Chain A
Amino acid sequence: MAEAAVARETLFALRETIARLEGRPIPALAAAAHETLADKPARQAAGIAKSLPEQTGFLPIGVGELDTALQGGLPLDALTEIRSLGLRDAGAASGFALALAARLHAQASDTVAAKSPVLWIGDTVATMEAGLPYAIGISDFGLEPQAFLQASPRKLDDALWVAEAALGSAAFAVVILEVRGNPARFGLTESRRLALRAKAAGRPLFLLRQGGEEEASSALFRFSVEPAPAPARPLPDGSVLGGSIGHPAFRLTLEKSRNPAPLSITLEWNAHDRRFAPVLDTQRPAFPGAHAAHSGADLPASADRPHRAQALGSVLAFDRQA
């Protein structure tokens, strides 16, 4: 009996040590917190979790299932990796990262963090292939363009330096570091260093890996983001406008977390409310015939030639006999 107690005591001590090493809350306390969090979304079924308690140190995504898997939300003092499978998906991955940043601004609407800008550190290669962040698009997306700074260092070493300095200064609400693929000079050591820096400063760092493989890093969580067809635009009467492109949607996979099973979910981003919402399969637009909501005439396609000889001069009336 006593032996078992001693063994348990040792086990707890070891767990605490491990937790401290990993920078997690002490297991006994975390377990209690986890339980309260876990049953809340269950009660609300699948849907928008109305509002989780706004915890400091966490950024809740606002979707119950995901927040449960993240144990409350994204930690605000750590490195989070967001990965796209190919550079073609760069738009979706940057969208998800910026949406998180916008959400962070919205969450911290009256604190210091709300006034702090977002820093985007763009790798030269990634910027060349995926494009420059566009301020007006960013403001359409729910972020203040005034609170957006972009760094474009020439070399990866410089980019890492900027990221480290930015985290150290604690002047930014979030730092987004974009890299292309899996560069050899940005390995486990560097990511560990950045993660520690983020922890010390209490500011989040999003590592945006465009077109990269999974690799060991110090990120607590890693998402992979793929684009998903956007739901159609809703109309005031509750129906949707066929063939239109509504809020952007992403297919997220939580590849790395403390839960062993990877979680896949499709979310849409409402830039106006700065809120994520899960997209159900029934909402997916299925439209074999409807392909365009443009104002043009639906005429047969033709390539490389005008479809009709152009009339000369102003045409007053068509000749009926012709």
Chain B
Amino acid sequence: MRLTALNERAEMIGLKQGQGVAEAKAICPELDVIEEDPAADRKLLEAIADWCDRYTPLVAIDGKDGLFLDITGCAHLFGGEEALLEDILIRISRLGFDVRGAISSAPGLSWAVARFDESRIVPPEAMEEALASLPVACLRLGEETVAALRKMGLKQVGDLLSAPRAPLARRFGAQLLLRLDQAVGLVEEPISPRRPVAQLSAERRLAEPVQAEEDILQLARQLAESLKLGLEARGIGGRSFELLLFRVDGEVFRIAAGASQPLREPSRIASLFAERFGAIHDDLDVGYGFEIIRLNVLQHAPFDAMQGDFVGEDRQEGSLAAFVDRVAARLGPDCLQGFELRQSHIPERAVRPIPAMGLLASRRRTGQEDAGSGFFRSERPLRLFRMPELVETIAAEVPEGPPRQFRWRRVMHRVSRAEGPERLSAEWWVEEKEEPVRDYFQIEDEEGHRFWLFRKGLYGRGGTTPDWYMHGVFA
């Protein structure tokens, strides 16, 4: 077991990373050793990254202990780069972390300065100068490369900058030059943000944290109000929204809500979140309140403006969409379903349930054709069981008649009439293995119950008697 991380006091005693635990205990017997938990560390880093969303939507995680923030165009919102850097450093250190940071025109240079120099801002014209005095390890190279460079006497980046490039590339590979160019800004280095960047977003920073749900919803409504102009200017409406709540102590909550139709109306956007709050009520720990609230539009779609007619039929459709959205927001998108008919003669495959949200959107685009009528078939039952239920038949006519009596759910039914069989073969172009044919019968028992029974397979095949199943009930 080795030490992987140290706190300040341990560093003062003179312990080092990579030291064996036994040796460290010998140096300092009262040492507290805690086992490393990479997953928890990662979670913490993610949480800090979430928190950093307040500065810029472009936050990327770097390794085990770093974050890249792309602050292009954001700095002025915080009073300039100095103020921004100071704000970040002070706030994170108040949260109890040892933090360093740097701002420069290249991610590689910021990385190097933050880790091997003091926290500062490097102006674009002084990039090479800032880099020259740093050790070569600041270039994010592999350990062997760093060791080889040291052996060659190339200890500082300045030595590399002044050395001829071709021999360096030959000796240490293209990676070295790439890192070097990235650090001085000759090669663009993209940072990939952790989350998709919102198309549009609006936020409010509050002097006094809010706690009450109504206040949050009221603010969400105001944010939606301010997004409306942007949506209108682009001719779009939002399909998927996200409300970010930054709690005073650094916790960040993300609440997503979708809509079946592109939305612009602030009151409807706010009502989506009202339903979401109703659903997640217990999971949202308000604590000491939220200090920043942001509303993002994650997905959008063209908004076809429609004029309501005098009868108000448009309002009708609108209210259906609003209802669908409310249910989806509170109970999940799968709770409310419509049906899509498909070209298949296998009963359970001929109908596919699809979420009502998708249904409304797709119907708007294409009319639906009736897929179930492509072939001749007998009547289908009103209700179908999710899984066909095994029934015990007492006497069935061989080879292809209905049973005379059968026991289903422990009740004996005497068959008075039957229609059938309707033979449905398996769809060999879909099935993996060969399924037996089904002979369906519409059966009425003596009390007037009408059932849909089928026999799976034929008599006299494979030596076993085929089973009978209950698949549905008629009216």
Q: Which A positions have Cβ atoms within 8 angstroms of B?
A: 88-92, 94-96, 98-99, 112, 115-117, 128, 130-141, 145-146, 148-154, 158, 161-162, 165-166, 169-172, 226-230, 243-245, 248-251, 269, 285, 287, 290-299, 301-307, 310
Given A148-B338, A301-B396, A137-B472 contact (CB < 8 Å): yes
Residue interface bits B445-460, CB-to-A below 8 A is 1, else 0 = 0111110000000011
Given A117-B320, A132-B383, A292-B401, A310-B351 contact (CB < 8 Å): no
**Tier of interface size on chain B:** 35 or more
Which residues of B382-438 have CB atoms within 8 Å of chain A's CB atoms?
A: 382-386, 393-402, 404, 409, 411, 415-421
Q: Give complex CA distance A150, B409 in Å.
A: 26
Q: Flag whether B67 is at the interface (Cβ < 8 A).
A: no
Q: Which B positions have Cβ atoms within 8 angstroms of A?
A: 311-313, 316, 319-320, 322-323, 326-327, 330-331, 335-339, 341, 347, 350-351, 353, 356, 363, 368, 370, 372, 379-386, 393-402, 404, 409, 411, 415-421, 441-442, 444, 446-450, 459-460, 465, 472-475
Q: Which 4 A-B pairs have the closest CB atoms?
A: A95-B475, A91-B473, A131-B383, A227-B448
Q: Is the CB of B330 within 8 A of A161?
A: yes
Q: Is the CB of A291 within 8 A of B473?
A: no
Determine how close the nearest CB of chain A comes to the CB of B317; give it in whole angstroms.
Answer: 8
CB-CB < 8 A to A296: which residues of B? Answer: 397, 399-401, 421
Q: Is the CB of A94 within 8 A of B339?
A: no
Q: Report whether over half of chain A's contact residues are helix, strand or loop; otherwise say mixed.
A: mixed
CB-CB < 8 A to A245: which residues of B? Answer: 417-419, 442, 444, 450
Q: Is the CB of A171 within 8 A of B383?
A: no
> Which of A90, A297, A306 lies in contact with B459, CB distance below 8 A?
A306
CB-CB < 8 A to A305: which residues of B? Answer: 465
CB-CB < 8 A to A99: which residues of B? Answer: 475
Selected A-B contacts with CB under 8 Å, 16 pairs: A94-B475, A95-B475, A99-B475, A128-B386, A131-B381, A131-B472, A134-B380, A137-B382, A137-B474, A139-B372, A140-B380, A151-B331, A161-B330, A171-B320, A303-B393, A303-B395
Q: Is the CB of A229 within 8 A of B444?
A: yes
Q: Which residue of B lies closest to A88 (CB)?
A: B449
Q: Is the CB of B472 within 8 A of A292?
A: no
Q: Report whether over half of chain B's contact residues are helix, strand or loop; otherwise say mixed.
A: mixed
Q: Give complex CA distance A82, B370 in Å.
A: 31
Q: Is the CB of B383 within 8 A of A115?
A: no
Determine how close the nearest CB of chain A comes to the CB of B437; give it in whole angstroms.
Answer: 14
Q: Is the CB of B335 within 8 A of A151?
A: yes
Q: Is the CB of B402 within 8 A of A91?
A: no
Q: Give complex CA distance A294, B443 in Å.
A: 11
Q: Is the CB of B381 within 8 A of A134?
A: yes
Determine how close the nearest CB of chain A comes to the CB of B374; give it in whole angstroms.
Answer: 12
CB-CB < 8 A to B393: which residues of A? Answer: 303
Q: Is the CB of A136 within 8 A of B351?
A: yes
Q: Give complex CA distance A30, B233 in Å.
A: 57
Q: Is the CB of A133 within 8 A of B382?
A: yes
Q: Is the CB of B473 within 8 A of A131?
A: yes
Q: Is the CB of B460 within 8 A of A306?
A: yes
Q: Is the CB of A134 within 8 A of B472?
A: yes
> Which of A115, A131, A244 lies in contact with B385, CB distance below 8 A?
A131
Q: Is the CB of A132 within 8 A of B475?
A: no
> Which of B372, B409, B465 lies in contact with A136, CB distance below 8 A?
B372
Q: Is the CB of A244 within 8 A of B459?
A: no
Q: Is the CB of A293 within 8 A of B316?
A: no
Given A91-B475, A307-B398, A294-B420 contact (CB < 8 Å): yes
